[in-house]
Amino acid sequence: MRHLLTLVALLAFSPLTSAGPLPSWTDGPTKTAITAFVEDVTSAGSPNFVPPAERIAVFDNDGTLWVEQPMYTQLAFVIDRVKALAPEHPEWQDEQPFKALLEGDLDALKATGTDGVNRLLAATHANMTTEAFEQIVSDWIASARHPRFDRLYTQVVYQPMLELLDYLRANGFKTFIVSGGGIDFMRPWTERTYGIPPEQVIGSKIAMQYAVQDGTPVLLREPEIAFIDDKAGKPVGIQRHIGRRPILAFGNSDGDYQMLEWTTAGPGKRLGLILHHDDGEREYVYDRESHVGRLSKGLDDAGSKGWLLVSMQRDWARVFPSAPEGSTGTPGDRHE
């Protein structure tokens, strides 16, 4: 009896957690709409049933699956690579765009334009084998930390999105990343972080060529952009890579507009979602005026297009996974 009373007392003063799907999503119309959609398209008796092979879900990465403020993570990678290589290139102290980058002069960096981007690309992403670049990215992502949250970048992923990816895969969906970021920058770590393997990553690409070096076949990365997977490029990238129109698309900026528009314009039941960054306490507040992840047209048209506008503040009970050991960053819980 004493043990029974103790158990009752513990239950009385301990909050019960839901064993259902999407536990880090707050109960409400957004969570209900997502689960209702999944149930509808996966139930065999439903008029909106979608065969497993056609259950394609696409997700933007920056600002949708992980933090993109105060700058895109790949830009942080470029900055760190230039700083690491600078001792070998003393001429960079007087050459643009390296001078601007090393001095933190963003206006001067922007003024270098496409030529500046290409020079940074050549210095940090090209003129090496694919294996060499993969190792550089893997080493960087294993140690680089977000400036505000003091976590590895792979620890400032969104817990609700990790749950959504798992939930969709448990219901027969195949999940893809469709990002403006570099495809080869993402591939070394997406499977470990999101459960999305390299072959299900779509992104911007630089040119490559096949060569034989010292008797060994290699792929060499060239300092030339081959494809930009952003805005209208996203549906093109999806069609080239997957060959099927998705039935679910999730983004956070106007760079994702065409991906959502193309996805939801198809026949049958479809779902488009936009993450609205409106939580300055646990993450960031930005939309129309942001230089990173600008959301204006999508904000205006979400209602008329039938897209769900997901409020980080209202719809997420947690933003990040639990704080890793030794981290000083907030775990992103809601403080009621």
Taking alpha carbons only, the member of 177, 208, 188, 155 closest to residue 319 is 155
State the average pLDDT over residues 161-183.
98
Q: Please report the pLDDT score of residue 10 as a whole number.
A: 33
What is the reported pLDDT for 1? 39
Q: Taking 80 as the threshold, does the pLDDT of residue 89 lie above it?
A: yes
Give yes or no for residue 173 having a pLDDT over 70.
Answer: yes
| 149-158: pLDDT as tens digits | 999 999 999 9
Which pLDDT belongs to residue 29?
A: 97
**pLDDT per residue as tens digits for the range 26-84:** 999 999 999 999 999 999 999 999 999 999 999 999 999 999 999 999 999 999 999 99
Least confident range from 118-127, 133-142, 190-199: namely: 118-127
Q: What is the mean pLDDT of residues 156-181?
A: 98
Is the pLDDT higher at 116 or at 196?
196
pLDDT of amino acid 26: 97
How far lies 270's CA from each of 57, 74, 273, 277, 307, in Å?
10, 31, 10, 23, 10
- On whether the CB atoms of residues 274 and 298 are closer than 8 A, the answer is yes
Mean pLDDT across the chain? 91
Identify the band that residue 8 occupies on the pLDDT scale cut at 50, 70 and 90: very low
pLDDT at 331: 56
pLDDT the model gives residue 333: 72
Give the integer Cα–Cα distance in Å for 45 and 60.
31
Q: Summarize the confidence of residues 91-118 as an average pLDDT.
A: 90
CA dihedral over 165, 168, 170, 175, signed as positive or negative: negative
Do 302 and 81 touch, CB atoms closer than 8 A?
no
What would the CATH number be for the domain defined by 21-315? Answer: 3.40.50.1000
The pLDDT score that the predictor gives to residue 110 is 85
pLDDT at position 167: 98
Q: 3-state secondary structure string, the chain?
A: CHHHHHHHHHHHHCCCCCCCCCCCECCCHHHHHHHHHHHHHHCCCCCCCCCHHHCEEEECCECCCECCCCCCHHHHHHHHHHHHHHHHCHHHHCCCCHHHHHHCCHHHHHHCHHHHHHHHHHHHCCCEEHHHHHHHHHHHHCCCECCCCCCEHHHCECHHHHHHHHHHHHCCCEEEEEEEEEHHHHCCCHHHHHCCCHHHEEEEEEEEEEEEECCEEEEEEEEEEEECCCCCHHHHHHHHHCCCCCCEEEECCHHHHHHHHHHHCCCCCCEEEEEEEECCCCCCEECCCCCCCCCCHHHHHHHHHCCEEEEHHHHECECCCCCCCCCCCCCCECCC
The whole-number pLDDT of residue 336 equals 44
Query: Which of residues 213 and 19 earns the better pLDDT score?
Result: 213
pLDDT over threshold 60, residue 243:
yes
In this prediction, residue 145 has a pLDDT band, given cuts at 50, 70 and 90, of very high
Average pLDDT over residues 84-94: 95
Of the listed ranges 2-6, 83-87, 186-190, 281-285, the least confidently predicted one is 2-6
